[in-house]
Amino acid sequence: MNNRYDGRSRQPKKKSAFRIIIFLFLIAAIIALGIFSLGQYTAVQALQNNLQSLEEKLDRVEEEKNRLEEQYEELYEENEQLREENKMMRSETLIEHGDRETNKVAITIDDGGREAINNRTLDYLKEHQVRATLFPTGKNVESYPETWQRAVEEGHELGNHTYSHPFLTNLSEEQVRQELSGWQEAVEKAIGGSYHTLFFRPPYGDGFFSGQGYHRERLQPIVAEKGMFPVMWDVELVYALRNDTYSSARITEHVLNNARGGSIVLLHFTEADIEALPRIISDLRERGLEPCSLRELLLADPQT
Ligand SMILES: [Zn+2]
């Protein structure tokens, strides 16, 4: 009996211990849940903060973007204006000589129809370390591609002298355009890459002499369209010596008597002109003048 009572009286004790454990367990669970929620809460707070600072950054980026867009618009307009001015300048400027204050004299050589003379010219220029501006026709570039490739490799500049050397005043505007792009294609094929020249020399000077204003007004915008300036000369031989003996000695003498700082000398790839070339170069130098290309004469920074 006693045992039974004992048993009974021990039973409620066990029950209350169990309840306490459950109770403690619940408390622990609540605390854990609390800590967990607090953690979650802090994490959410941190995320919200991050989000906010990202949004602020985004706003700043947006502002920067708008600012740059405005700047771009301004620069674009400025660029358009410069292009227009540039085109106008090319449409109006006829180059006959450079700055008279310099000691530079540009050597320009036209046509290039005889391979042996072309190569001799390049040899002389190399020997005397002169860079020149060469105006071969497109046809001559097509016939002797290696020569003109060599010329470019050796630092000379090629100028557009049309494809087939016509009198431009006889041609329609479309034909003039074809003559210019024919030259361009021949040069790019010969050198195996794109080539841009700033300079155009009209065959025979035709269309650009003073007194040919009507033709020049028609022709020069086409030349400008292709990004080029027409280049004449202030020292030449064909017209000047037409009633004279056309010898190397006479050529040298004429060039030296007439060239001064800023001059543009027009020679041709002919036996007499090219045989005079070494003497012209060394005599110019003796007089303190430095033979160079058009780019070197006319551009402040010839590398651009
Ligand atoms: Zn010519």
Structure confidence by residue, pLDDT tens digits, 246-273: 899 999 999 999 999 999 999 999 999 9
d(CA 298, CA 97): 9
Residues 173 and 289 in one domain: yes
The CATH number given to whatever domain includes residue 118 is: 3.20.20.370
Q: What is the pLDDT of residue 8?
A: 53
Q: What is the pLDDT of residue 2?
A: 52
203 contacts 216 by C-beta, under 8 angstroms = no
The DSSP call for residue 203 is G
Cα-to-centroid distance, 89 and ligand 1 (Å) = 24
Q: What's this model's pTM, rounded to 2 decimal places?
A: 0.75
Residues 47 and 124 in one domain: no
190: its two tokens: 């010969």
d(CA 51, CA 38): 20
Query: Any alpha helices (H) in the chain, and if so which ranges?
Result: 2-92, 115-127, 138-143, 145-153, 173-191, 213-225, 248-258, 271-286, 294-298
What is the DSSP annotation of 98-160?
Answer: --TTS-EEEEEEEE---HHHHHHHHHHHHHTT---EEEE-HHHHHH-HHHHHHHHHTT-EE-B
**291 SS3 class:** strand
Q: Which protein residues have their CB within 5 A of the ion that is ligand 1? A: 110-111, 203
- What is the distance, to the nearest Å, from the Cα of residue 196 to the centroid of all Cα atoms in its chain? 9
The domain boundary residue, chosen from 42, 67, 92: 92
Identity of the residue numbered 36 = F
Count of the separate structural domains present in the chain:
2
Cα-to-centroid distance, 118 and ligand 1 (Å) = 14
Q: Confidence class of residue 227 from pLDDT cuts 50, 70 and 90?
A: very high
Cα-to-centroid distance, 178 and ligand 1 (Å) = 17
Structure confidence by residue, pLDDT tens digits, 169-214: 999 999 999 999 999 999 999 999 999 999 999 999 999 999 999 9
Expressed as residue numbers, the domain containing 238 is 104-298
Cα-to-centroid distance, 70 and ligand 1 (Å) = 49
Cα-to-centroid distance, 62 and ligand 1 (Å) = 58
Cα-to-centroid distance, 231 and ligand 1 (Å) = 12
Q: 165 in a domain, yes or no?
A: yes
Cα-to-centroid distance, 133 and ligand 1 (Å) = 13
CA angle 151, 95, 232 (to 5 degrees): 65
Residues 75 and 121 in one domain: no
Structure confidence by residue, pLDDT tens digits, 5-58: 555 555 667 788 888 899 999 999 999 998 888 888 888 999 999 999 999 999
Residues 178 and 125 in one domain: yes
Q: 35 in a domain, yes or no?
A: yes
110: its two tokens: 């036209």
Q: What is the pLDDT of residue 5?
A: 53
Q: 12 in a domain, yes or no?
A: yes
Residues 117 and 215 in one domain: yes
The domain boundary residue, chosen from 92, 125, 160: 92
Of the candidates 181, 224, 231, the one whose C-alpha atom is nearest the C-alpha of residue 202 is 231
Residues 209 and 229 in one domain: yes
Of the candidates 183, 128, 179, 121, the one whose C-alpha atom is nearest the C-alpha of residue 150 is 121
Residues 113 and 217 in one domain: yes
The domain boundary residue, chosen from 37, 70, 92: 92
Residues 292 and 173 in one domain: yes
d(CA 138, CA 197): 13
Give the least confident one: 111-125, 233-247, 263-277. Answer: 233-247
Cα-to-centroid distance, 166 and ligand 1 (Å) = 9
Residues 246 and 283 in one domain: yes
Of the candidates 124, 116, 176, the one whose C-alpha atom is nearest the C-alpha of residue 143 is 116
* Higher pLDDT among residues 242 and 218, named by residue: 218
* Higher pLDDT among residues 296 and 239, named by residue: 296
Structure confidence by residue, pLDDT tens digits, 68-101: 999 999 999 999 888 887 877 777 889 999 999 9
Q: 99 in a domain, yes or no?
A: no
